[in-house]
Structure 1
Amino acid sequence: MSKTGKKKEKVSKKPEPHRISILEHELVPQHRILSPEEAREVLARYGVQPQQLPYILVSDPVVRELGAKPGDIIEIKRKSPTAGEAIYYRLVVTGE
């Protein structure tokens, strides 16, 4: 007991797990959220509506890490053996 007459509670201090960003992994291509202006430009360039883009779920680990919301457009840059770099666009959806 302490001097105040109260029992001291044991606080177990577990070491915090190391937080590793999946965005930094060598096998994960570069992802970023487009600004509204960039999104409008991409949609106009390809002549498509957002719903015509391939989808990526809001629950996807990369989307969660970026903090993207449904309706955001994600730009993905992948290495390509033939083109050097390929750029893809995905619309963030809830999956309902």
Structure 2
Amino acid sequence: MRSSSKKVDPRVHILVPKHEVLPIEEAYKVLRELGIGPEKLPWIRASDPMAKTINAKPGDIIKITRKSPVVGELVVYRYVVSG
């Protein structure tokens, strides 16, 4: 059995889509276009490994870009909550 003290970066795994914290101006633009408040977005906890990796804080909005064989690229948003 191997013992590893190195932390694994989830961003480099092939199955993990691209995550990025939106700048505040872009977050407001997205919310205006969707016609909702941030709490209406699906939530992601600040303790989620990917949220921690990109230094997302409660109140941030994360843009997740997934590759899809059907639509090419799919963008979803998550609202960061405590936890």
Assess same fold via TM > 0.5: yes
What is the letter of the counterpart of residue 5 of structure 2?
Answer: P
* 1:17 Cα deviation from its structure 2 partner: 2.6
| Number of residue pairs matched by the alignment | 80
Q: Is residue 21 from structure 1 mapped to residue 21 from structure 2 by the alignment? A: no
Distance 1:63 1:84 in 2: 24
Q: State yes or no: 1:41 paired with 2:48.
A: no
CA-to-aligned-CA distance 1:60-92 (integer Å, 9 cap, x gap): 000011111000000000111210110000000
1:1-96 equivalent positions in 2, closer than 5 A: 17-95=5-83
* Moved beyond 3 Å, runs of 4+: none
What's the CA shift for 1:46?
Answer: 0.8
SS of residue in 2 equivalent to 1:37: helix
Higher share in strand: 2
Structure 1 Cα separation of the partners of residues 6 and 25 of structure 2 = 36
Unaligned runs of 5+ in 1: 1-15
Q: What is the RMSD of the two structures over their aligned residues, measured on CA atoms? A: 1.3
Matched-pair identity in %: 47
Q: In 2, Cα distance between the equivalents of 1:58 and 1:78?
A: 20
What TM-score, normalized by structure 1, do the two folds share? 0.78
Specify the SS of the correspondent of 1:59. coil
- Partners of 2:56 and 2:46 lie apart in 1 by 7
Larger radius of gyration: 1
